[in-house]
Every structure is written in structure tokens, then in C-alpha cells.
């Protein structure tokens, strides 16, 4: 296929560093020059910011990437509508340019099962080993990439087959979730259309999937922007900067975007230790 480069967005609309480094995805990597390369939906791309514009080099069409980066939603208007107090306003100002990626549902679910009780560097290493070991190989722009293995591929494995990942107690959870999807007991496409709380409750029934993992999969993989995952960073930010009775649901239909602003601010500025 032909490789082309085109303007995807302004740097104000899409900050690639913030978007790729805010903990929502694990397959995009900085090459050291500020450009990020990675995979989504079985296709590869490289993004860089040049003179205030985000340029993307890819062999896929513009429509795929506009959808993936949620470019048809007005994040500036949404962010202006939050009413969460001075601290949230600070987080929004610091994180503006983050976009919630519309990731492939199975990849997001599997990745966040791997993520539990893990740091981002280690999660990325496990996910990359998973793809390199079990994913289909392809070439893009002179480099070798691997597609994320589908649920059917992983469902055929036993937990011992995942020893190469060094994912520990998470291995049986990966296999269990893959089999639920492959056998049709978990219909991720249907959950994209279901109310977000219903989708979350369905995911929590999976072995090894708790509230936080389910909320991450609902937000980043099923594209329900109301979800508000709470991890150690968010829990401490809520404790330090919000009233004791604060309910994330008051942030409305885009609470998940507010969550990313808070997470990125707390983690980037090291407000708290992760222990």
C-alpha cells in the first residue's frame, strides 16, 4: 500500500506527547526525536508535530485515524463545560490536548487486565511481548510491527503458553477473557452500544477484572466517556483536592476526559508517590 503523510490536526487539538503518555495506551513509542510510532486496528503510523500541526505518516486512510483520535469531537468546548473547581481547572489547563483514543475493544480489555498492579513501563513491555509472540507480523515504512493478537488466537492457548510474557497471576485472566470473547459469552460490540454501567457490570463478571480495570476497558475500549477509572493517582488527587462527598458522576457525560486530565497532572507533576 502507498505510504502518505498528511495533516491530521493542530497541536492544540491533539498533543501527541500528552495523549500517548497519559496512561491510556501502551503501543505507541517515542523514537527520541519527539515522533511517535505505533499500531491501531492492525495498521501502523508515525505522528510528529511540525510548526503547530500534527502530521501522520501511514498507509491507512485518514478516516481510520480521525476516528481513532476522536477528532470529530470538540474537546475544547467539552473541557470548558466542566465545573469541578479550581484544581480541575488547573488539570485541564495542564492537560489540554489530550484526546481519548477510540481503541479496539479487545485490545483495550486485554491490555488493562495486564495493567493491574503494574507500572506503565512494565505494561508496555508485556503488551509488546504478547504482540511479538502471538501477533501477526507486518512491515511498515521499513520497520517490522506486530498486530495485537485477537481473542480467538489467545483463547486457543493455555496459561503456561503465556510464561514468556512474565505476566504472573494475570496469565489465566488473559486466557479466561479471551475465551469469553471467542466463545461469544462476552459480546464487546454489543457492550459498545449498551449503557456504560451495564457494560461495566458485564466486564466485572470476568475472572480477575475489578472496578478499575472494567472502567478503563469501558472508557478506552468501549468508548463510554462517562466512565471514571480510579487508581492510586486518582484516589489521592480526589482525597487531596476534592470534597469528601465528591461524586465523579457530577462531571457528566465526559467524566472520563476529566479523569485523564487529573491523572496526567498528578502523575506528571509527581504530586504523590505511587506507593
Q: Which domains can be identified in the chain, with CATH numbers?
A: 4-72 (3.30.310.260), 105-220 (1.10.340.30)
Could you tell me if 267 and 273 are in contact, meaning their C-beta atoms sit under 8 angstroms apart? Answer: no
Could you tell me if 156 and 164 are in contact, meaning their C-beta atoms sit under 8 angstroms apart? Answer: no
Output DSSP code: residue 36: E
- Which one, of 204, 27, 175, 197, lies nearest residue 110 by Cα? 175
Catalytic residue among 193, 200, 202, 212: 212
Q: What is the pTM of this model?
A: 0.94
How high is the pLDDT of residue 1? Answer: 67
CA distances from 193 to 9, 157, 197, 218 (A): 28, 30, 11, 11
Residues of the chain with pLDDT under 50: 273-275
Q: C-alpha grid cell for residue 70?
A: 476522536
How high is the pLDDT of residue 275? Answer: 37
For 20-55, b/e burial (b = at least 16 CB within 10 A) is: bbbbbbbbbeeeeeebbbbbbebbbbbbbbeeebbb
Hunting for cell 491501531 — which residue is that?
Answer: 40
How high is the pLDDT of residue 274? Answer: 43
How high is the pLDDT of residue 269? Answer: 77
212 is catalytic: yes
Element (H, E) at 20: helix 16-20
Element (H, E) at 110: helix 105-115
- Which one, of 15, 13, 46, 43, lies nearest residue 30 by Cα? 46
Could you tell me if 38 and 44 are in contact, meaning their C-beta atoms sit under 8 angstroms apart? Answer: yes
- Which one, of 222, 213, 233, lies nearest residue 274 by Cα? 233
Amino acid at each position: 500500500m502507498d505510504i502518505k503523510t498528511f495533516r491530521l490536526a493542530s497541536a492544540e487539538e491533539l498533543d501527541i506527547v500528552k495523549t500517548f503518555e497519559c496512561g491510556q495506551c501502551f503501543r505507541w513509542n517515542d523514537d527520541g526525536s519527539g515522533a511517535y510510532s505505533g499500531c491501531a486496528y492492525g495498521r501502523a503510523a508515525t505522528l510528529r508535530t511540525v510548526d503547530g500541526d500534527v502530521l501522520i505518516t501511514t498507509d491507512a486512510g485518514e478516516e481510520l485515524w480521525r476516528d481513532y483520535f476522536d477528532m470529530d469531537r470538540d474537546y475544547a468546548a467539552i473541557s470548558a463545560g466542566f465545573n469541578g473547581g479550581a484544581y480541575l481547572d488547573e488539570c485541564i489547563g495542564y492537560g489540554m490536548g489530550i484526546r481519548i483514543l477510540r481503541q479496539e475493544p479487545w485490545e483495550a480489555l486485554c491490555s488493562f487486565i495486564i495493567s493491574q498492579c503494574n507500572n506503565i513501563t512494565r505494561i508496555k513491555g508485556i503488551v509488546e511481548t504478547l504482540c511479538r509472540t502471538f501477533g501477526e507480523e507486518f512491515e511498515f515504512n521499513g520497520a517490522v510491527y506486530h498486530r495485537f493478537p485477537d481473542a480467538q488466537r489467545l483463547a486457543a492457548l493455555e496459561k503456561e503458553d503465556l510464561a514468556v510474557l512474565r505476566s504472573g497471576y494475570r496469565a489465566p485472566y488473559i486466557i479466561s477473557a479471551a475465551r469469553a470473547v471467542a466463545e461469544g459469552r462476552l459480546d464487546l460490540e454489543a457492550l459498545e452500544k449498551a449503557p456504560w454501567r451495564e457494560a461495566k457490570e458485564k466486564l466485572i463478571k470476568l475472572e480477575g477484572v475489578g472496578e478499575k480495570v472494567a472502567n478503563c476497558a469501558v472508557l478506552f475500549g468501549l468508548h463510554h466517556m462517562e466512565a471514571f477509572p480510579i487508581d492510586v493517582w486518582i484516589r489521592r488527587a480526589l482525597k487531596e483536592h476534592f470534597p469528601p462527598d465528591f461524586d465523579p458522576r457530577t462531571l457528566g457525560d465526559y467524566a472520563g476526559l476529566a479523569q485523564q486530565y487529573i491523572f496526567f497532572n498528578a502523575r506528571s507533576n509527581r504530586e504523590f508517590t505511587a506507593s
